[in-house]
Structure 1
Amino acid sequence: MISSRLLPETIDDGVTIADFSGEYALPAIEVSVVMPCLNEERTVVVCVEKALQTMSRLGVMGEVVIADNGSTDKSVELATEAGARVVHQSQKGYGSALQKGFEEARGKFIIMGDCDDSYDFTDLERYIQELRGGADLVMGNRLKGEIKPGAMPPLHRYFGNPVLSGFLNLLFRTGVGDCHCGMRAFRKEAYQSLGCHMPGMEFASEMVIKASKARLKIREIPIVLSPDGRDRPPHLRSFRDGWRHLKLILMYSPSFLFLLPAMVMIALGLLAAPVALLAGYGTYETIFGPNFLIMAAFMAIAGAQIFFLGLIARLQAHRVDPVFASPRMDWLLRTFSVERGLISGGVLSLIGLGLTIPVVSEWFRSGTVSQPALWILAGTLLVLGIQTMFGSFLIGILELQIERSRQKKL
């Protein structure tokens, strides 16, 4: 038998069910409004009430979920009294709180937003319409909407948000103009496919990047941002959280972080010696002499090291996270073998050794090296060959470990 205390007093069509729990079949909830919360007693009630009243007015079966992140004020009690369902996340962080809220949300659609009264929870209809129309992720855009006086610091409005969003779009081409907007909506099923896990503010960037890489249908709508209702500084820390966003963007693009600079360094380093020789430089008497060429050699060797680190990072991302799976990496893995890597490294080493023959012969004969550029180029190729051979073994070992893990899952 169902206990009467578990049932709402009335259940009418179009009435929002905010705290519906118990051992019985629940009505299908379409929309969950999830708000992260850490000591927001001044504003949490008005946010919850706006969201509930709006869903009721729209005839949407929905709920409000407060993801509390360890509040020490009356936020939890006030949110519960206002009609929200409160879930608790002990792991600190904006992203951690949201992930707990999303996990506990019962709705098909989830709309997230801060409960500091800076976002307008009476403006839910446009998000719901976009999701009903087939969108997977609906982003609010404060920069194309209205930012009321005092709502966003000039540093964030004119530098932080545009620069970080622009850099993110440069690498991932998401098409999102305000990648860090805190009010957004998505299909829960689509979100679960992304595997987002970052604990801090960088969670906002992670969701946009992964949604774009997964080719989800992303829509963007202009929204209004108002001054928050807090009586204390915000949890956001401009430089700390800005760096965390930038760091995540770079780590999620190993091709840009590692491979691109590595190839430039290798090319410039290896070309320096032949160009110097052909131009009549490379001797002790010229400006582009041994000292310059030694630095070029160091650049090429460092570039090769960075290249292998980037290749390993790209391989790891490809294997571990399905969102970052790439047909090009599939082709590379099919083409690559330890044996081919050893052959390539061996050829480079043999070329290097071959170039040393005339230099070493002259050295033994006269005790001098009249072609230091050739000597440095030969040594560089020899080192690069050795790096290639041992790097191939390392990639082969990693592939063995990944294959072993795959077999265990089967």
Structure 2
Amino acid sequence: MDQVPPELDIVLPCLDEAQALPWVLERIPAGARAVVVDNGSRDGSPDVARAGGATVVTCDRRGYGAACHAGLEAAEAEFVAFCDCDASLDPADALRLVDLLRAGADLAVGRRVPAARGVWPLHARLANVELARRVRRRTGVGLRDVGPLRAARREPLLGLPIADRRSGYPVETVVRASEAGWRIEQVDVGYSPRAGRSKVTGTLHGTVQAVRDMSRVLRE
């Protein structure tokens, strides 16, 4: 008998997240499938992901966007969500985004709300405020955060011409969706301390590089 595809695939771009993966995979909601996209981990993350019941996809091209897109191409469900796998976001909140899609939205984005003081480094939070302002100006969509937790239907999302394969991928998703006339909505989601050290928001260099990638997308 053919296996019935899941209703929701949750794509989890992964680079050395063995410490956080068990918690994240335990939070995958019933009826959803975790698609962990390994982007060159050296800490055994793929083995941890498989042990936790995830489908593991290998993405040899480095970059957050490259990993996201590889996961999208590997997805089979009607709905696809993207979530960081560092335990800063609860993948179960993807169901709230799917509710928005069922109610008529074409793209749903989680607005990160820090669970405690100090969760979101000041330099990263200020950069996000400015980027969100630029996105609003470019698209006319009232987003307050272009966060890593977002969801859409798989087939329409595959049809968007998203070219960025670095940190600009989430911003370009919103830009292309807006250009396509999509209805874009946002809902608050909890944002907790991540497990381990961040490759982006935990370092000033990482934040600067992400801002450059996202700014390039907005200029184009």
Root-mean-square deviation (CA, aligned residues, Å) is: 1.4
Contact 1:118–1:225 (CA under 8 A) maintained in structure 2: yes
What pairs with 1:104-253 in structure 2 (closer than 5 Å)? 104-142=74-112, 145-157=113-125, 159-179=126-146, 181-230=147-196, 232-236=197-201, 237-251=206-220
Q: Give, in whole Å, the separation in 2 of the partners of 1:184 and 1:168.
A: 15
Contact 2:72–2:158 (CA under 8 A) maintained in structure 1: no
Amino acid at match of 2:14: C
Higher helix share: 1
User: Max radius of gyration: which structure?
Assistant: 1
| Aligned CA distance change for structure 1 residues 182 and 26 (closer, same or farther; 3 Å) | same
> What SS does structure 1 have at the residue aligned with 2:27?
helix
Question: Residue 46 of structure 1 is aligned with which of 23, 42, 45?
Answer: 23
When normalised by structure 2's length, the TM-score is: 0.93
Contact 2:108–2:150 (CA under 8 A) maintained in structure 1: yes
Q: Give, in whole Å, the separation in 1 of the partners of 2:218 and 2:167.
A: 13
Q: Give, in whole Å, the separation in 2 of the partners of 1:213 and 1:147.
A: 33
Contact 1:99–1:197 (CA under 8 A) maintained in structure 2: no
Amino acid at match of 2:117: P
> What SS does structure 2 have at the residue aligned with 1:106?
coil
Amino acid at match of 1:171: R
Q: Give, in whole Å, the separation in 1 of the partners of 2:73 and 2:46.
A: 19
Contact 2:162–2:173 (CA under 8 A) maintained in structure 1: yes
Residue 123 of structure 1 and its aligned partner are, at CA, apart by 2.3
Is residue 13 of structure 2 the alignment partner of residue 27 of structure 1? no
Q: Give, in whole Å, the separation in 1 of the partners of 2:134 and 2:97.
A: 26
Q: Give, in whole Å, the separation in 1 of the partners of 2:13 and 2:198.
A: 16
Residue 233 of structure 1 and its aligned partner are, at CA, apart by 4.1
| Aligned CA distance change for structure 1 residues 233 and 183 (closer, same or farther; 3 Å) | closer
Question: Residue 79 of structure 1 is aligned with which of 44, 49, 67?
Answer: 49
Q: Give, in whole Å, the separation in 2 of the partners of 1:189 and 1:148.
A: 37
Question: Residue 40 of structure 2 is aligned with which of 70, 93, 113?
Answer: 70
Amino acid at match of 1:151: V
> What whole-Å deviation, never above 9, does each CA across 1:126-146 have from its counterpart, x for those lacking one?
12211222221111012xx34
Q: Give, in whole Å, the separation in 2 of the partners of 1:226 and 1:68.
A: 22
> What whole-Å deviation, never above 9, does each CA across 1:211-251 have from its counterpart, x for those lacking one?
11111121110111101011x34245111221221122111
Bigger mean CA deviation after superposition, 69-78 or 162-171:
162-171
Amino acid at match of 2:192: S
Q: Give, in whole Å, the separation in 2 of the partners of 1:151 and 1:128.
A: 26
Q: Number of paired residues?
A: 216
Contact 1:37–1:71 (CA under 8 A) maintained in structure 2: yes
Contact 2:94–2:151 (CA under 8 A) maintained in structure 1: no
> What SS does structure 2 have at the residue aligned with 1:124?
helix
Identity %: 29
What pairs with 1:363-374 in structure 2 (closer than 5 Å)? none
Contact 2:127–2:211 (CA under 8 A) maintained in structure 1: yes
Is residue 37 of structure 2 the alignment partner of residue 37 of structure 1? no
Higher strand share: 2
When normalised by structure 1's length, the TM-score is: 0.51
Amino acid at match of 2:124: H
| Aligned CA distance change for structure 1 residues 129 and 169 (closer, same or farther; 3 Å) | same
Amino acid at match of 2:65: G
Contact 1:67–1:86 (CA under 8 A) maintained in structure 2: yes
Q: Give, in whole Å, the separation in 2 of the partners of 1:64 and 1:233.
A: 21
Contact 1:131–1:137 (CA under 8 A) maintained in structure 2: yes
Residue 147 of structure 1 and its aligned partner are, at CA, apart by 4.5
Q: Give, in whole Å, the separation in 1 of the partners of 2:137 and 2:166.
A: 23
> What whole-Å deviation, never above 9, does each CA across 1:19-44 have from its counterpart, x for those lacking one?
xxxxx522132100110000101001
